[in-house]
Amino acid sequence: MVLTNEMYHRSDGYNYIMSPPLRSAEDNAALWNGLAGGWLSTVSSDDNSIDVEDKRAGQQSFDQSSPGCVDVETRLPIVYAEGVARQRLSLQRMAEVTATNPARIFGLYPRKGVIAIGSDADMALIDPRAHVRVSPETLHMQVHYSPYAGWDLVGLPTTTISKGRVIVDAGQFLGRPGDGTFLERSIAPDVLAQPC
């Protein structure tokens, strides 16, 4: 929704090999319109923490590069910066497409995806003024590249709460091994019943 197929013409174009492949700026504008208008339900990516050496294997031939995008840490700030801050999405719609709708699709709602009595109390608190210039050094992932290197992003998550406990605060991980819980997922029947 923010990267275009022009990236393939760069000397490091192999870093942008992912599925689905990147499209034009016009296609991206249509995706933002679909997200805002309710035709698209969620934001996702071909997230895969592949390091630069695996990507660089595609220098000679794109089919030798490991597909994927180092994106999990930048996704929320990108949706905020490119969606909310640019008035393409409301803050409410951002919450829907990044939390509520994915929880519904994977049959996890209302345990996940909502702040309500009986839910898990998972949330990310965003500071709309917090900003960062993306680089491998500013990311917490152990990779040596980012497709968003050099981008200035606003709206960073500053605190993450899991099951009512603060596990990240001011960029510091406070959780413990074993804090996470594996959740069985299945596509919700109402999602499967919808026409394609």
3-state secondary structure of 141: coil
**Res 153: pLDDT:** 95
Residue 191, token pair as written in the block: 């999602």
pTM of the model: 0.90
Q: What angle do CA 115, 81, 144 make, to 5 degrees?
A: 100
Going from N- to C-terminal start, the domains of the chain cover 5-192
CATH class assigned to 5-192? alpha beta
**CA atoms lying within 13 Å on the CB side of residue 84:** 24
Tens of pLDDT, residue by residue over 147-187, are 999 999 999 999 999 999 999 999 899 999 888 889 988 88
Confidence of residue 196 (pLDDT cuts 50, 70, 90): low
